[in-house]
Structure 1
Amino acid sequence: MAGALLEVTIDTALVGKAFDDLMERLGDLTTPLNDIAEYLHQSTDNRFRQQVAPDGSPWAPLAPSTLARKKGGRILRDKGTLQDTLRHSVSGNELAFGTDRPYGAIHQFGGKVQHAARSQQVFFRQGKDGSVGNRFVKKSKSNFAQWVTRGAHDTEIKARPYLGLSAEDDIEILAIIQDYLLEPFNE
């Protein structure tokens, strides 16, 4: 899975023991891991709506240049593509949860994006008095065109972590494991 991937490492004795007991009882963790994955989808969707990291801290605000071109000012939710591409994979006793989008990692961890120099023709509408408007128009509606060039430049993307486990997530995952451990006793 390319993009951003959450690896859940269980390092507390309590959760580790619960997983050991569950593996011993079930032999196969596919069903509880799928339930955990479903919970992670819900939890991560909630974080997208609240625009917060797993630790509850708010995501970095958008740059003024980004706000000027976006409608609504919602962070990481312009079209909802990133949020809609969260996937999970359960294989044996392993759960992978994340996105397959290559840009998922830059939003999770932050970093620098390098843009190559480029040129393109832009189209405007020229008035009868010879003045050229300052808005781009479609080529078919244009009567004035010019070539513009933008040099190579870098853009810094701030980290906006959306993958990870909160303290509440830890508790819920333990509850899911506990339900499977206690299932034979509740029948």
Structure 2
Amino acid sequence: MAGIRVEITANSTIIDDTLQHAFNTLANPELMLKDIGEYLVISTKDNFDKEQTPDGDAWQALSPNYLKYKKPNPGKILQRKGGLYRQIFWQVSNNELAVGTDRIYGALMHFGAPRGQFGKSPKKNLELPFGDIPARNWLGVGKDDEEEIYLIIQDHLQANN
């Protein structure tokens, strides 16, 4: 994934311990990671629909100036044409799960950027970006996600018995 991905380190000792137990117990932990990945993609898209962070905080509203020019999907945050929303996926390799996007602008939308951070455009000599882009945390794991991940791990451990 060239765009953005997050590395999840659970803040929960219970999840850390349960995940470690799963890796030590399951013959194929990649099946569990795929289920967690599928869940996180769905959760991330739900957050897009609600225009909120993984912890449920609302994203900053679009600026009135940007709203004058935004087409299509006027008023929808981070969903101009839906490319970022459609390109959220998971990938499992070597017992590691990555969730993110291959869209390079995904990082820009997640972390934000002040006006002019990337210099000027060669053709029109305009600052890039031409306005401040606020950080809108769209990728990550919230408290509800941690609970669901724990349940997915438990399901795989129980199925293994």
Structure 1 counterpart of 2:127, one-letter code: H
Query: Which among 169, 174, 179 is matched to residue 155 of structure 2?
Result: 179
Max radius of gyration: which structure?
Answer: 1
Q: CA deviation at 1:99?
A: 0.6
Q: CA deviation at 1:158?
A: 0.5
For the residue of structure 1 that corresponds to 2:132, the secondary structure is strand
Q: What pairs up with 1:135-154 in 2 under 5 angstroms? A: 151-154=125-128
Which residue of 1 is the match for residue 110 of structure 2?
108
Moved over 6 A (4+): none
Query: Which among 131, 143, 159 is matched to residue 167 of structure 1?
Result: 143
Q: Is the 8 A contact 1:5 1:97 kept in 2?
A: yes
1:158 and 2:160 aligned: no
Which residue of 1 is the match for residue 95 of structure 2?
93
Q: Structure 1: give runs of 5+ residues left out of the alignment.
A: 120-150
Q: What pairs up with 1:25-36 in 2 under 5 angstroms? A: 25-36=25-36
Higher strand proportion: 1
Q: Is the 8 A contact 2:26 2:160 kept in 1?
A: no
Which residue of 1 is the match for residue 14 of structure 2?
14
Q: Structure 2: give runs of 5+ residues left out of the alignment.
A: none
Q: What TM-score, normalized by structure 2, do the two folds share?
A: 0.88
Q: For 2:135 and 2:97, how far apart are their aligned partners in 1?
A: 24
Which residue of 1 is the match for residue 78 of structure 2?
76
Structure 1 counterpart of 2:54, one-letter code: P
Q: For 1:91 and 1:117, how far apart are their aligned partners in 2?
A: 40
Which residue of 2 is the match for residue 24 of structure 1?
24
